[in-house]
Structure 1
Amino acid sequence: MDSIVVTGGGELQGEIPIAGAKNACLTLMPATLLSEEPLTLTNAPRLSDIKTMTELLASLGAEAKSLQNGQVLAMSSHDLTSAHADYDIVRKMRASNLVLGPLLARFGHAEVSLPGGCAIGARPMDLHIHGLEAMGAEIELRDGYLHAKAPKGLKGAVYEMNFASVGATENIMMAATLAKGTTVLKNAAREPEIVDLATCLRAMGAQIDGDGTSEITIQGVDRLHGATHPVVTDRIELGTYMLAPAIAGGEVECIGGRIELVGAFCEKLDAAGIHVEETKRGLKVARRNGRVSAVDVTTEPFPGFPTDLQAQMMAMLCTADGTSVLEEKIFENRFMHAPELVRMGADIEVHGGHATVRGVDKLKGAPVMATDLRASVSLILAGLAAEGETVVNRVYHLDRGYEKVVRKLSSVGARIERIKE
């Protein structure tokens, strides 16, 4: 397996372009199943997860072409041949479950394998299932597959989730666009990716109001048409690269970044002593004088602090002045990077959903192992400030969510290379 070698020391200077959002693009791609007409996505990220979703759509009979060096996805579902999402593809990626709602809405039936993805804890499908059942679907779990049918078609309903699940909000919202009548989704997720999906669906002719709030109303229509839609900036990649100069020192401008995508995150950076400045092209980030200050972090659904930036934030706080407490409230198994940071000299204690980080003067390079997507990049960030050489193994996780990470960090002065094996 490939590894990434980071030699610490040295400040970062320059600019890093931020790609389109992985989580948004993976949600937008299944929307093509709702229409016979073409859907084109621009500003698409070039990631292995996008290839996996392309493979899944192709297995259903959809056409999906990558254009302009992968930054444009041209899709069409005019001649679908299957409503069966096979385990061999779905197991690779959690977002594969997002074909369930569109297939059920358009064809009245679907068979979708239970999904895979990073091993960061249980992410059940119950909210997806209950929401679709409220709209008239009949869903049964057999042999690892969700067998769904809507013999009388989907009908509008009022459904309140007991947790603001992003995936369930997306699946139900897509299904509701073609349902008969009005669907009101309460306690809906408010993430930018939800707003981006709603914007795309409206461009396709859907009638949606309230996205970005906790109550979304969808008036079903008879059909959706084609559209061209730009994928929103990846707020997790943005936050990750904002932390690079915060950890290593220097100043980096993240091209395409916007404060409203990472508001709660920026508040924590400010408290830690990191200066963030809006520019005409994005966000400029620099560490103020001296060590960063310890801050406490609690992950929450948007607009709170993102769980997908917790590991990276922990890497920065390893050398902060003082003690920080991180509370993980989204996934129960998301501190697997902590033991690897301890190998680099960090002082971290984990008790259940809490991690106590006592800042040390310096991290030291060591061989470490990535356990999931965000843990991978957190170890790379830690290596930027560590003495000596850090070797991050099992970096195949990284390819699922970060486009050209070695090139982007090298361009601002990081000493980093990928070793092929």
Structure 2
Amino acid sequence: MGREQVGVYHILGGRRLCGTVKIQGSKNAVLPMIAAAVLTKEEVVLSGCPRISDVEDMAEIVRSLGGTVWWEEKDLHLNCAEIEKSHVEGALSKRLRASLLFLGSLLARTGEACLAKAGGCRIGKRPTDLHQKAMEVLGAEIFEEAGTIFARADHPKGTVLCFPKKSVGATENAILFAVGAEGVTRLCHCAREPEVVHLCRFLRAMGADITGEGTEQITISGTYGKTALSGCRYEVPGDRIAAGTYLLMGAATRGHLTLLNAPLDEMGAVLSLYQKIGGQYTRKSGTLVADSKKVQDAVPCVETAEYPGFPTDLQSLYLAAAMTLKGESCICENVFEDRLRTAEELQKMGGTLRICGKWIYTEKSRLHGADVVSRDLRGGAALVSAALLAEGFSVVRKTELIERGYERFPETLRELGAKIIVEKEV
């Protein structure tokens, strides 16, 4: 979708979602891998890469730095042999939050990095102080001026770094920088999210010496003065948030879905919730068959939390489904406070909702079609889910936010039985 266009979905509600979905490659796993491709002069191939706007934006940053990027069907090829630049253009870095990951990889590759503060969804406070502090502890000189981060590291050396609070992005950035340092780096109080695990495995496929991924302590033996990292071909894992999205959409519409390539071992919290509201499922070899015809009972309290807790990215999707359940649902958003803004749009559709601090209280509601606006990527998907079960027609605006993270979203929903028309407004 062009940056000058705004997308609009026209949706007729009252349709169950039924059929088979092949879950796309993980957005949150592949974005740091693209930043990591800067660390080698050899070609990297990301197989099964999702063709979404966030990936295209990260690829454009690589091109702007001097790299070459191209697609061959579902494989994204990156060749960073000619990268010499260390400055990410402001317009590019402001498009998405993940652009901040070039801070660590560029420092490791060129010894310098300059980028404007990253953009992305407005879902609450997302400071960069943990990222900057991690770079400093690892030997970088860093300062910020007029919204731009400047960093330099002549000879980064391994050390012990303990994060004051868990942060997926800061953990990933520290890993990317530490890979190019001299000696051993020990990162403590690390985020345990699967995306961090996949980044470590990807770097290990490139020849990095990393252990401890999936725990709170990760150890990296840097490559400074050693053999450089090599290229590799790596299979992008299935997207746990996309899989959870379709699962909860199926629950909201009482559908029957078969999810292929779903990372089931990463979906424990959402599958547990799905069972508690009455969903039934079977799992086998990466395939999830989910039957939602008996979904009916609200869960009294759901709280978002860092992995392996219930993911904040699925909070608004569950909220849409909760408005179809018997009893009161209480949802506590512990991660990003502005994710509650989607509730205001759901109220336009007749949702019985009450917001109290970081808590949302809702009960079974008779939803009707309305004209609503996506506030963020996942909240936009939740509005689509609500529109699918509402009576009459709904219009969902600013769907370019949704398409940052979901591949062929309206097309997939149509294949599952939804009545959805896409309109592009200039």
TM over 0.5: yes
What CA deviation, in whole Å up to 9, does each residue of 1:346-388 have, x standing for no partner? 111112211111222x211111111111111101101111111
- Kindly indicate whether the alpha-carbon contact (under 8 Å) linking 1:293 and 1:322 is maintained by their aligned counterparts in 2: yes
- Kindly indicate whether the alpha-carbon contact (under 8 Å) linking 2:317 and 2:381 is maintained by their aligned counterparts in 1: yes
* Equivalent residue for 1:52, pick from 49, 57, 63: 57
Q: CA deviation at 1:192?
A: 1.0
Question: In structure 2, what is the equivalent of residue 305 of structure 1?
Answer: 310
Q: CA deviation at 1:24?
A: 1.0
* Equivalent residue for 1:147, pick from 147, 150, 155: 150
CA pair 286-292 structure 1, distance change in 2 beyond 3 A: farther
Question: In structure 2, what is the equivalent of residue 319 of structure 1?
Answer: 324
1:20-419 equivalence runs, <5 A = 20-68=25-73, 71-151=74-154, 153-221=155-223, 222=226, 223-289=228-294, 291-360=296-365, 362-419=366-423
Q: CA deviation at 1:259?
A: 2.1
What CA deviation, in whole Å up to 9, does each residue of 1:217-245 have, x standing for no partner? 11112221111111111111110001122
Q: C-alpha separation between the residues in 2 aligned to 1:244 and 1:26?
A: 25
Q: C-alpha separation between the residues in 2 aligned to 1:47 and 1:211?
A: 27
- Kindly indicate whether the alpha-carbon contact (under 8 Å) linking 2:121 and 2:376 is maintained by their aligned counterparts in 1: yes
Q: Percent identity?
A: 37
Q: C-alpha separation between the residues in 2 aligned to 1:321 and 1:305?
A: 21
Q: CA deviation at 1:281?
A: 4.8
Q: C-alpha separation between the residues in 2 aligned to 1:390 and 1:367?
A: 6
What CA deviation, in whole Å up to 9, does each residue of 1:201-260 have, x standing for no partner? 001000111101111111112221111111111111110001122111121011111321
Q: CA deviation at 1:399?
A: 1.4
Q: Tell me, what secondary structure is at the counterpart of 2:219?
A: strand
Q: CA deviation at 1:101?
A: 0.5
Q: C-alpha separation between the residues in 2 aligned to 1:285 and 1:75?
A: 37
- Kindly indicate whether the alpha-carbon contact (under 8 Å) linking 2:41 and 2:81 is maintained by their aligned counterparts in 1: yes
- Kindly indicate whether the alpha-carbon contact (under 8 Å) linking 2:256 and 2:293 is maintained by their aligned counterparts in 1: no
Question: In structure 1, what is the equivalent of residue 3 of structure 2?
Answer: none
What CA deviation, in whole Å up to 9, does each residue of 1:58-111 have, x standing for no partner? 11111111221xx21111111113100111110110000100101101211111
Unaligned runs of 5+ in 2: 1-5
Q: C-alpha separation between the residues in 2 aligned to 1:228 and 1:194?
A: 18
Q: C-alpha separation between the residues in 1 aligned to 2:78 and 2:57?
A: 14
For 1:389, give the aligned amino acid: F
Question: In structure 1, what is the equivalent of residue 8 of structure 2?
Answer: 3
Q: C-alpha separation between the residues in 1 aligned to 2:99 and 2:18?
A: 38
Q: CA deviation at 1:2?
A: 2.4
Q: C-alpha separation between the residues in 2 aligned to 1:292 and 1:411?
A: 28
| Superposed structure 1 runs of 4+ greater than 2 Å apart | 288-295
- Kindly indicate whether the alpha-carbon contact (under 8 Å) linking 1:268 and 1:295 is maintained by their aligned counterparts in 2: no
- Kindly indicate whether the alpha-carbon contact (under 8 Å) linking 2:237 and 2:263 is maintained by their aligned counterparts in 1: no
- Kindly indicate whether the alpha-carbon contact (under 8 Å) linking 1:258 and 1:283 is maintained by their aligned counterparts in 2: no
TM-score where L is the length of structure 1: 0.97
Q: C-alpha separation between the residues in 1 aligned to 2:236 and 2:391?
A: 38
Q: CA deviation at 1:8?
A: 1.4
- Bigger mean CA offset, 286-295 vs 299-308: 286-295
What CA deviation, in whole Å up to 9, does each residue of 1:152-201 have, x standing for no partner? x1111111112210101111001111211111111111111111111110
- Kindly indicate whether the alpha-carbon contact (under 8 Å) linking 1:272 and 1:295 is maintained by their aligned counterparts in 2: no
Q: CA deviation at 1:135?
A: 1.1
Q: Tell me, what secondary structure is at the counterpart of 2:132?
A: helix
Q: CA deviation at 1:288?
A: 4.2
Q: C-alpha separation between the residues in 2 aligned to 1:2 and 1:171?
A: 33
TM-score where L is the length of structure 2: 0.95
Q: Tell me, what secondary structure is at the counterpart of 2:339?
A: coil
- Bigger mean CA offset, 275-284 vs 42-51: 275-284
For 2:231, give the aligned amino acid: G
For 1:400, give the aligned amino acid: R
- Kindly indicate whether the alpha-carbon contact (under 8 Å) linking 2:19 and 2:415 is maintained by their aligned counterparts in 1: yes
What CA deviation, in whole Å up to 9, does each residue of 1:261-301 have, x standing for no partner? 11111111111111122034511111143624334211111
Unaligned runs of 5+ in 1: none
- Kindly indicate whether the alpha-carbon contact (under 8 Å) linking 1:274 and 1:292 is maintained by their aligned counterparts in 2: no
Q: Tell me, what secondary structure is at the counterpart of 2:354?
A: strand
- Kindly indicate whether the alpha-carbon contact (under 8 Å) linking 2:23 and 2:239 is maintained by their aligned counterparts in 1: yes
- Bigger mean CA offset, 260-269 vs 1-10: 1-10
Q: C-alpha separation between the residues in 2 aligned to 1:16 and 1:230?
A: 19
Q: C-alpha separation between the residues in 1 aligned to 2:300 and 2:394?
A: 25
- Kindly indicate whether the alpha-carbon contact (under 8 Å) linking 2:297 and 2:327 is maintained by their aligned counterparts in 1: no
- Kindly indicate whether the alpha-carbon contact (under 8 Å) linking 1:273 and 1:293 is maintained by their aligned counterparts in 2: no
Q: C-alpha separation between the residues in 1 aligned to 2:75 and 2:320?
A: 34
Q: C-alpha separation between the residues in 1 aligned to 2:157 and 2:354?
A: 50
Q: CA deviation at 1:49?
A: 0.9
- Kindly indicate whether the alpha-carbon contact (under 8 Å) linking 1:90 and 1:115 is maintained by their aligned counterparts in 2: yes
